[in-house]
Amino acid sequence: MVEYFTELKGKTVIVTGGSKGIGRDIARTFAELGANVAISGRGKEALDEALAELHSFNPNCIAVSGDLSDINEVRRLIDTAAQTFGTVDVLVNNAGVNIAKPAMEVTEEDWDTVLDLNLKSAFFASQAAAKYMLQQGSGRIINIASQMAFVGYIKRAAYCSSKGGLVQMTKALAVEWAKAGINVNAVAPTFIETELTAKMLEDEAFKKDVESRILLDGLSQPKDISGAVLYLASGLANFVTGETIKVDGGWTAI
């Protein structure tokens, strides 16, 4: 019997925003397969909890605290992982933020906060990781985008812009680095049921609207996103680059 994903054991995987929600589930999925995982986050308590969970699967995992809106912190994360484990094999750009406001109320500070973390930090993390991947002649970069890269939605002007840019950035980097053996792809989730979305989903009208747009039953779970990421990181996706996998329950199919 073929055992899939065994090639990920011992690989260096960096997951930004890996202390909570989708990022934590992605990090755990790789750790369960024996990958050496480096996670980043701003809250020490959440970061420590996530790292403890990772250590239950693989003791060779680390956590690096920092605000990835600061490009120096982005580079420190990548360099720390490379120095600790010797390689940088997979980068998952998951860290992100949304400030839900009507377009007429979005301030310059709001815009910069969303774009700096969702798009700018992802680019510079990719650049820093590629420094090592280009030397190795291999690597996988996986950007966590959103269905909002493909559709509009209320109170999401900055967020949609950042995620749309992330999808285009994915294509640009895939084209530039393909001959160097680096595959660059993205995953575009719909609304995910996590502790991070719990508050907004308490709004019954909002939740009803979201559920009405998803063709499959219920809301997506973090493991749905982790599965797509795992595929793109594995040998099963050797001939896939520049693509975005939508994990949206059919939202964008209509």
Burial class (CB in 10 A: 0-12, 13-18, 19+), 15: buried
C-alpha 30, offset from chain centre? 13
Residue 90 placed within a domain: yes
pLDDT in tens, 2-27: 789 999 999 999 999 999 999 999 99
CB 49 within 8 A of CB 21: no
Residue 250 placed within a domain: no
Residue 224 placed within a domain: yes
Domain count, the chain: 1
Residue 150 placed within a domain: yes
Residue 253 placed within a domain: no
CATH number at residue 48: 3.40.50.720
CA quadruple 30, 167, 130, 49: dihedral sign? negative
The helix (run of H) or strand (run of E) holding residue 201 is helix 198-201
Q: Which residues are catalytic?
A: 159
Angle between helices 157-177 and 108-115 (to 10 degrees): 30
Res 1: pLDDT: 64
pLDDT at 142 over 90: yes
pLDDT in tens, 57-82: 999 999 999 999 999 999 999 999 99
Residue 135 placed within a domain: yes
Tokens matching residue 252: 């964008």
Res 254: pLDDT: 87
Full domain range(s) for residue 182: 6-245
Residue 25 placed within a domain: yes
Tokens matching residue 244: 């975005």
Residue 18 placed within a domain: yes
pLDDT confidence of 200, banded at 50, 70, 90? confident
